[in-house]
Structure 1
Amino acid sequence: MSDCCSAPGLMAFDLALKQLLDNVPAPENSQHVAIENALGKVLAGDVISPVFVPPHNNSAMDGYAFNSQLSVQAINTNSGLEIVGRSFAGEPFTGQTQAGQSIRIMTGAKMPRCCDTVVMQENTEVKDGQLHFTKAPVANSNVRKQGEDIQLNDKVLTKGHKLTAIDIGVLASLGIAKIEVFAPLTVAVLSTGDELRSPGEPLNDGDIYESNRFAIIALLEKLNVNILDLGIIRDDKTAITNAFIQADIEADVVISSGGVSVGEADYTKEVLAELGEINFWKIAMKPGKPFAFGKLANSIFFGLPGNPVSALVTFYQLATPGIEKMQGLTFKAKPKFLAKSTSKLKKSPGRMDFQRAILYFSESGEAQVTSTGSQGSGILSSLGAANSFIVLDSEQGSVEAGEMVFVEPYSALFQ
């Protein structure tokens, strides 16, 4: 991993993300879990279908099944088809129909042998055990074919896919009870600072309530990882050393907030330098210029800035892709599209800017975006009021109202 401390100027955001992803490991360990416990987990291998879905031809309607070729005369003359049996879901008709015969059938029921068509019951009349049509049936209609959804030996899901609720239903439809997924990560979270107090505690002069750790843990819960909360660590070298040693032993990823800016928390930097290989980057992004990344003996380390907005934006834009790669997910760039800014946006060239904003659509359907106001890195409420980022390139300057800008909607992680 190259040493970025001595690199002149600021590191471009895209380069920082690439170097980060190049240096975090892909997962190695997997486990089998019941599908009811697999939501949000990442597949450790491809899923190949062991069956056809549906497993047999079945009716898409409540009605009557018959063979359209053997029943042409009855259809043309509407002379009637004899009803000789029934096929219900789970209780199929086991006989074989002949010319001039039909079978009462329910939705989802297996199609009887020799039958290729179902007429919906609303288009029929039954008199004296004979089926008559009130509307001419269409041959081969209202039948779901075997394998219409999934064929035997189809690749249904791919290694590295994060399982959704719909995927769980698909696995169940294949008869798969257990699935191989990558083992979950354990992520240790801590904050450093003598001035930090937990919510509920009284504040002394100069103290502040610690919020970063709570928000980061809430986001990590959405990422489906095991969380080790190490709390607030005081500015003491022994305490910080012990916390990082414990985190490195017990976790795959260690995340701290605060102590990564120039001149801040010298103990944190000193301890990290002793325990691992850490790069303190200055990234050309706003908010979130100071960011630390590297490796401890057994884990990957992400050092987030202390300001709340900076901490959460760097977690979202940088740490999250790294964690997802370690979970087995393939990196996908966040989608962006153009929208009209209804606000004037202040920006100086030099850093990529992630400005908090509200994306909406006008009555005419035009995508428009409005700034949430002040973009200070300590104004956490503005991050919560937004639903997207306006992404302004590093070389871009201020934007006038009415100009088009690139917008990156919040992913489910931030919603």
Structure 2
Amino acid sequence: PVPEGADAVVKYEIVDVLDGDGNEGSHVSFSAPAKVGENVRSAAEEAHAGDVVMHTGEVVAPAGAGLLASAGYASVKVHAAPRVGIISLGTELVAPRNVPARGQIRDSNSSALMAEALDAGAEPVFYGIAPDDEQAIAELVHRAVQECDFVITSGGASAGDYDYVTALVRREGEVLFDRISMRPGKAITFGLLGGKPYLGLSGNPAAAYVGFEMLARPAIRKMRGFAEGARPVQQAILTHCVKKRQDRRFFDRATVSRDPETGELLVTEAKTQNSALLGTMQRSNCLLRIDEGPCELKAGDAVDVVRVDLPEGAVL
């Protein structure tokens, strides 16, 4: 508290003691004049009694945690991180630590999807690899549905002989869609099992990654209570020609950078868009979005890019 009758506080750093020990009764001088209210914090400067210091829907940032504490709240109710069950489907899959035999491949999707789920604010739970067996798949999926808030599988979502996912959801739940006009990731099943969301992604790694970005990540953020669900979208200038003959919407892996001379954002596609490859996604910072319908884009055209390297709500 400021002593009665005082209206300013002078910093010790600008005080010289003329005589005495600097305590009461001493004589001092200041190297700058004192101003009324200087170095005084008014009562209720942050908030008055009855003020709302944080509203429903606000994200509790580190500063917000301190703000709540200053108002006397050691804890508050928040949205729980949803548990997301992840299952890889395919007899050909082996764990990453294993050396694949002929006809086998390491399971890369589970690692990528677990990391994606964690980054989206979920608590990922890996339920393992299910072989191409209808009963084995059903058992793992049922267990995940019972224990999790959201279940995601990769593989077994297209039209192969061993793709049981859509049939399982249709038989025991509700299929809301089982194809989407998107590349990569056309073969996607979404539905409800036991009243919980279920997403069956393509087994192709890049397709599974893009499918997660476009569908699962916004859903997880919605479950977390975030207001912003979509990654930031910017316009950038193409550095090369792009021809598109298909009707589907494309999300091509690409890299956006800023021209050092003009300051314009430039975007360059990865050399390959093979949906089996994750390396191009690792080295990309955006997805070049090309809307439905055939088109031919030229170098210098302005296009939309989805910034997968920036958080939702980022001001560009």
| TM-score for the superposition, normalised by structure 2 | 0.86
Equivalent of 1:196, from 93, 98, 101? 93
Determine whether 1:171 maps to 2:68.
Answer: yes
Q: Which runs of 4+ in 1 moved over 6 A?
A: none
Check whether the contact 1:249–1:298 (CA below 8 A) recurs between aligned residues. no
* 2:133 corresponds to 1:236: yes
- The 8 Å contact of residues 130 and 140 in structure 2, kept in 1 or not, is answered as yes
Structure 2 distance, partners of 1:161, 1:136, is: 43
Q: 1:297 aligns with which of 169, 186, 194?
A: 194
- Post-superposition Cα deviations, 1:365-408, rounded to whole Å, max 9, x if no partner, equal 32222223212211210101011222222246232222222222
Deviation string, structure 1 residues 95-140 (Cα, Å, up to 9, x no partner): xxxxxxxxxxxxxxx4333322233345443322223333333333
- 1:359 is aligned, of 243, 256, 265, to 256
- Measured in 1, the distance between the counterparts of 2:271 and 2:30 equals 68
Q: Which residue of structure 2 lines up, in the alignment, with residue 125 of structure 1?
A: 16
Measured against aligned partners, the alpha-carbon deviations of 1:153-177 in whole angstroms (never above 9, x if no partner) come to: 3323232334333322322333321
The 1:186/1:342 distance shift into structure 2, 3 A limit, reads same
- The counterpart of 2:280, out of the listed 382, 390, 394, is 382
Task: Give distance in 1, aligned partners of 2:165 and 2:84.
Answer: 18
Deviation at 1:232, TM superposition (A): 0.6
Conserved? CA contact 2:235–2:303, under 8 Å: yes
Residue 404 of structure 1, aligned match among 299, 302, 315: 302
Secondary structure of the structure 2 residue equivalent to 1:219:
helix
Higher relative contact order (CA 8 A, sep 6+): 1
Q: Deviations over 1:243-266 (max 9, x none)?
A: 122122222211111111234534
2:33 counterpart SS class: coil
Deviates further, 309-318 or 290-299:
290-299
Per-residue CA deviations over 1:18-59 (Å, capped at 9, x if unaligned) read xxxxxxxxxxxxxxxxxxxxxxxxxxxxxxxxxxxxxxxxxx
Q: 2:241 aligns with which of 334, 339, 344?
A: 344
In our comparison, the structure showing a higher alpha carbon Rg is 1
Aligned partner of 2:22 in structure 1 is none
Percent identity reads 33
Q: Does 2:78 align with 1:187?
A: no
- Amino acid corresponding to residue 214 of structure 1 in structure 2: S
CA RMSD of aligned residues (A): 2.4
Q: Is the 8 A contact 1:219 1:413 kept in 2?
A: no
DSSP-derived class of the 1:405 partner: strand
For the residue of structure 2 that corresponds to 1:155, the secondary structure is: coil
Q: Residue 281 of structure 1 aligns with which residue?
A: 178
- State the SS of the aligned residue for 1:239: helix
**Cα distance change, pair 366–120 in 1 and its aligned pair in 2 (3 A):** farther
Deviations 1:64-105 (A, max 9, x none): xxxxxxxxxxxxxxxxxxxxxxxxxxxxxxxxxxxxxxxxxx
Deviates more, 1:202-211 or 1:394-403: 394-403
Q: In structure 2, give the amino acid aligned to 1:272.
A: V
* SS in structure 2 of the partner of residue 179 of structure 1: coil
| CA 1:319–1:264: 2 relative to 1, 3 Å | farther
Partner of 2:104: 207
Number of residue pairs the alignment of both structures matches: 305
TM-score scaled to structure 1, two decimals? 0.67
Structure 1 contact 248–298 (Cα < 8 Å) conserved:
no
Say whether 1:313 aligns with 2:207. Answer: no
- CA–CA separation in structure 1 for the residues paired with 2:103 and 2:17: 87
CA distance in 1, matches of 2:70, 2:161: 55
Q: What SS class does the counterpart of residue 96 from structure 2 fall into?
A: coil
